[in-house]
Amino acid sequence: MADEPKPETDMKEEKNKIAEAKTSEDKVVKKDQVTKKAEKKDVQKDYSINKSDKSASEVSQTKPEDKKPEAKPEAKKSIETKPKVKKTETVVNAQNLPISTKYSKAICRFIKNKKINDAITDLEQVLVMKKAVPMKGEIPHRKGKIMSGRFPKKASEHFIKLLKSLQANANNHEIEDSVIVEAIANIGSRPYGRFGSIRRKRTHVKIKAMEKKLWKKKI
């Protein structure tokens, strides 16, 4: 005879039993996972405690001799600078200036035995044609005390630059009341112009200044 079909109540009971068995298994698996995690944490704590104990014991065992002395910062070495030597005179040299040697000699005579600032003001008046530079030779006459003179503009501009440089040197070396003691102009190397038909004007100039007190003593 064929098996009789089970009633619906029995089928439901079997399904419920199967579901309960699955839930119980899941709970067991979760408990196992939780216990494993707790064990891992306990092991890590024990390891960290042991490590800290070891480090403390090592620190206690180290002798004061084993400790390396702290390196002291090296003191910066002071740079030795030479003492500044006070000068009593200053000199300016210029070579191969593109100016007339004749006019340069006249200007050297004009500014000699003068203070640097006074010489600069006089040459500035020469540029404005209010004061003439005394000259020798075949030069036209000028009104006033001088017999003859001219207004050399280009040469005066170069001399003003040199005198300003001389004044700056005197201020740098703390020379007060500096007087132009020496002013010399010599002919330089004259190059040929284009096609070799003309020779250009070149002049060497040397100007020397000194303190007024020392200059008077030498005189």
Question: Which structural domain range is residue 145 located in?
Answer: 94-218
User: Which CATH number do you get for residue 196?
Assistant: 3.90.470.10
Q: Is residue 65 part of a domain?
A: no
Q: Is residue 128 part of a domain?
A: yes
Number of domains in the chain: 1
Q: Is residue 81 part of a domain?
A: no
Nearest to 135 by CA among 118, 144, 122, 147: 147
Residue 193 CB partners (closer than 8 Å, separation 6+): 199, 200
pTM, two decimal places: 0.59
Q: Is residue 113 part of a domain?
A: yes
Rounded to 5°, angle at Cα 107 from 105 and 109: 70
Q: Is residue 77 part of a domain?
A: no
Q: Per-residue pLDDT for the chain (219 aa), expressed as one digit of tens each? A: 444 444 556 566 666 666 666 666 666 556 666 666 666 666 565 555 555 555 545 544 544 444 555 666 666 666 777 676 678 889 999 999 999 999 999 999 999 999 999 999 999 999 999 898 988 877 776 666 666 788 999 999 999 999 999 999 999 988 888 899 999 999 999 999 888 888 999 999 999 999 887 777 665
Q: Is residue 3 part of a domain?
A: no
For residues 119 and 160, what is the distance between their CA atoms, to the nearest angstrom? 8
Q: Is residue 144 part of a domain?
A: yes
